[in-house]
Amino acid sequence: MNDMEKHNILIIGGPNTGKTHFGIQLYERINSRQFEFKIDPQNRPSDLSIFEDGLKNIYNGKRAAHTEASANRSIELKITDEKNSEVKLSFPDYAGEQITSIVDNRKVNDLWQDYIENSTSWVLFIRLNELTPLEDIVNKGIPSAEEIQKRNSQPPPVKISEAAFYVELIQTLAYIKGLSTYSTIFEPNFTVVLSCWDELDLPADQVPSTLLHERLPMLFDFLNNNWQKESLSIIGLSSTGKSLTDDPNEDFMDKEPINFGYFVDKGGSRNKDLTSLIWYFIGHE
């Protein structure tokens, strides 16, 4: 029990990657006391403002609103399992633009430094269907002479690729954490969450790690070269099971949000118990 109490999970994700919907759905499950992990009734957070507006929206079958760029709030959930073991899950709420700012400016503010220094597990949200497709000869063909001349006359602005962005982000976090890459990293435990899985239109048995390797091979290789195998997980996630909009979803309203959502484990199997993701996050799946 003492070992589990030391776990501090840091949720990391850029704009529109699904952090808020996941937080809401996870909180609803641990608060329901129907699953293995349950919120400790003696340590219920007094301030639930991070989730309240989003909860209201999804109970009305609508998507949660985008987090304000200036938001800096945090909830610490003390969770117990059926054996009365405890784990603390720190869930900071921030706009994804803050992640972009870390890479752009190569620095973090005092609050983020505290998050990073005190974390023992990192959970990185990536929404693959919103990444810019790689342009190569397979999907774009060979450009015409006119197109080549146009590109040379109007060079595009320098923009870092998504894969390079995530590698730069992780290297920044590792530097602040004081990690050495001379040997593979054991802690913090690292979980990549491929969010909005239902929007990717994938085969039922798609393995998340294979998909990451195909879509972001540079990031995949970086993680596998720098983290120990037992400290790295790649999973898929659909927090709500379907896309929500600003228009009410009748099905969601009738069956309640707790009955929606799933994750895809390392082997490609689906699991509706989002609370069991906590085992992945702390490295004990």
pLDDT at 184: 95
Q: What is the pTM of this model?
A: 0.84
The answer to whether 15 and 67 are in contact (CB under 8 A) is no
DSSP structure string for 240-262: SSS---SS--HHHHHH-GGG--E
CATH number at residue 105: 3.40.50.300
Q: Quick one: tokens of 228?
A: 């120990």
Vertex 121: Cα angle to 112 and 258 (nearest 5): 95
Cβ-proximal residues to 247 (8 Å cutoff; 6+ apart), any chain: 62
For the chain, count helices (H), then strands (E): 12, 9
Give the three-state DSSP class for 83. Answer: coil
DSSP conformational letter for 130 = G
The boundaries of the domain holding residue 28 are 2-281
CA 168 to chain centre: 17
pLDDT at 80: 74
**Rounded distance between C-alpha atoms, residue 55 and residue 52, angstroms:** 5
> Over its length of 285 residues, how does the chain's per-residue pLDDT go in tens digits?
444 457 888 989 887 888 888 888 888 888 888 888 888 777 776 666 667 777 778 877 788 765 554 455 666 777 876 666 677 776 665 666 778 888 888 888 888 888 899 899 999 999 998 886 655 444 455 666 676 666 666 655 556 788 999 999 999 999 999 998 788 999 999 999 999 999 999 998 899 999 999 999 999 999 999 999 999 999 999 998 888 878 878 887 788 888 889 999 999 999 999 999 998 998 876
Residue 176 CB coordination number (10 Å): 16
pLDDT at 105: 83
Q: What residue ranges in 82-200 does DSSP mark as E strands?
A: 86-93, 121-126, 189-194
Q: Quick one: tokens of 127?
A: 């929404």
**Rounded distance between C-alpha atoms, residue 43 and residue 28, angstroms:** 16
pLDDT at 69: 47
CA-based end-to-end distance of the chain: 17
**Rounded distance between C-alpha atoms, residue 103 and residue 282, angstroms:** 25
Number of compact structural domains in the chain: 1
Which secondary-structure segment (H or E) carries 38? Answer: strand 38-39
| Radius of gyration, CA atoms only, the chain | 20
Closest to 49 measured CA to CA, from 34, 27, 80, 79: 27
**Rounded distance between C-alpha atoms, residue 75 and residue 89, angstroms:** 8
Peptide bond preceding 188 in cis form (omega within 30 of 0):
yes
**Rounded distance between C-alpha atoms, residue 180 and residue 185, angstroms:** 8
